[in-house]
Amino acid sequence: MVAYPFATGAVIEGFRLDAQLDPGGMANFWRVSRADFDFPMVMKVPLLRRGEDPITIVGFEVEQMILPRLTGPHVPRFVAAGDFERPYIVMEYVAGVPVKSYLAKTPLPTDDVAEIGAKIAFALHEVHRQHVIHLDLKPSNVILRENGEAVLIDFGLSRHDQLPDLVGEEFDDPVGTGPYVAPEQVLRDRGDPRSDVFALGVILYFLATGERPFGEPQTAAEWKQRLWRDPAPPRLWNKQVPPWLQEVILRCLEVDPNARYASAAQLAFDLQHPDAVALTARAERAERDGALTVFKRWMRARKAQPRRRRRLSGILARAPIVMVAIDLASDAEPLSEALAEAVRRTLVTQPSARLACVNVLKTSLVALDPVEDASGRNPHLQRLIELKHWARVFSIEESRMTYHVIESPDPAAAIVDYARNTRVDHIVIGARSSSTLRRYLGSVSAKVVAEAPCTVTVVRTPPLVSGRPEPSAA
């Protein structure tokens, strides 16, 4: 291994070492610069001294493989890397606030917990979509940029769905950071993105209560207890935690991954829409589970085996957020029925999908519309009632369906913005019959198709066939 002169002012592979930063548990860090790069950078140098934990070596190799494949604002930009003769990784230096800095201020107000949690969840979702499960999510591995976006760092324990799992192949025991390790990780199952949802649930719990749900276990034997022992409900620690937030946190911390949120995007959705969170018995829990329930879990845990690994892309594909934009006008009934049929087919093929039923209440650009219509009814509330009536035909769990009335002078822009802000995967929207005016001004559905950040299905009602309109999707 080449012995580099790590000192301020030294030049390594063209990178000038400008200042040493605080060291990490498995690496040293230096601020570096090079004339051909115009953004701040950091060099990460793994600690490869004699007797060092072998996870340091494997983690360096894993991060060296994964980081160059990741893109977007939620990860540091990769710049360069050396080999084991010249061990280093150079990446973007992310200026911002580590989530770890909030721990000294806990418990945080509910709005702050939800806002931070949603930002982390969106970052996780984007990383998951790039075939990576972080598997070491914790406050010190999340930085909030100055613009508020969350950045995930330290991918040394991560799993890329399309690369060899070096950590899983090298170590017989589970690896990770004790308080944040998911139950399936204890069983050496490293292939489920909902492990990151569990870890984010631990972070939310800590931010909301100032306590860790499972303490600070140090050994794999201690980690294993979370296979049968549930955490104390957050409201036991902090009475200010609202029922909806306790519902969200405890759902993240379920032992069975199938009982958690199906994706990080669905978790972010609930954190952004607390009024739409479907409350269950979790929301009102006032104590931990009783001895009999814990004993039954312990018996099951004795026989538990890692599940057969599934492709990450397949897991996410079965858990999309589907948005249906509904026209509630009285003359749109045939189109409304065709829209419902298209949504029903989508839900059949995607059983873990989240459905957001959306209607846009068009407002004036000049002045605020009246709170009540000519009949003395609140139009916003009336639209919500009509949305729920429209959606009554779908036989899915209450927790998977929400209703939203958006007030905007531009329906197409409102639909696109909603889809972008909530990471919608699929928009289903109806298109009315063509007319000269609609061709001249442009239809809402055409604008949505042109600008949406996701797949769009446009539903139309064709001419009458045998006296009945047959719905079709275009």
Residue, of 252 and 431, whose pLDDT is higher: 252
Q: Return d(Cα 445, Cα 48) in angstroms, integer.
A: 57
Question: Which band of pLDDT confidence, cut at 50, 70 and 90, is reported for residue 365?
Answer: low
Q: Which pLDDT tens digit goes with each residue over 66-113?
A: 999 999 999 999 999 987 677 899 999 999 999 999 999 999 999 999
Q: What is the pLDDT of residues 172-231, one digit of tens each?
A: 888 999 999 999 999 989 999 999 999 999 999 999 999 999 998 888 888 989 998 899
Looking at the fold, whether 278 and 151 belong to one and the same domain comes out as yes
Among residues 280, 315, 350, the one where a domain terminates is: 315
Residues 165 and 304 in one domain: yes
Residue 202 counted as domain residue: yes
In a shared domain, residues 136 and 250: yes
Q: Are the CB atoms for 316 and 443 separated by under 8 Å? A: no
The catalytic position among 18, 83, 112, 136 is: 136
Tokens in use for 238? 């902090």
- Examine the domain organization and report whether 173 and 250 are in the same domain: yes
Same domain, 416 and 438: yes
CATH code where residue 416 lies: 3.40.50.620
Clarify whether residues 438 and 326 are in a common domain: yes
User: E-strand spans in 96-251?
Assistant: 96-98, 132-133, 142-145, 150-152, 159-160
* 102 and 53 assigned to the same domain: no
- The H-or-E segment that residue 79 falls in is strand 78-81
Question: Which residue segment(s) compose the domain that 311 sits in?
Answer: 97-315
Q: pTM score, two decimals?
A: 0.85
Do 246 and 331 have their domain in common?
Answer: no
Are 468 and 326 in a shared domain? yes
- Confidence band for 375, pLDDT divided at 50, 70 and 90: low
User: Long-range contacts for 313-317 (Cβ within 8 Å, ≥24 apart)?
Assistant: 313/131, 313/161, 315/192, 315/193, 316/128, 316/129, 316/193, 316/263, 317/350
pLDDT the model gives residue 297: 84
**6 part of a folded domain:** no
Q: Is 136 among the residues known to form the active site?
A: yes
Q: Domain check: are 361 and 443 in the same one?
A: yes
Identify which of 218, 212, 211, 217 has the alpha carbon closest to the alpha carbon of residue 199. 212
Last residue of a domain, one of 37, 68, 92: 92
For residue 143, what is the DSSP state? E
Number of domains present in the structure of the chain:
3
Q: Is residue 3 part of a domain?
A: no
Running DSSP on this structure, what letter comes out for residue 69?
G
CATH number at residue 174: 1.10.510.10
Domain boundary among 282, 300, 315: 315
Q: pLDDT-derived band of residue 470, with 50, 70 and 90 as boundaries?
A: very low
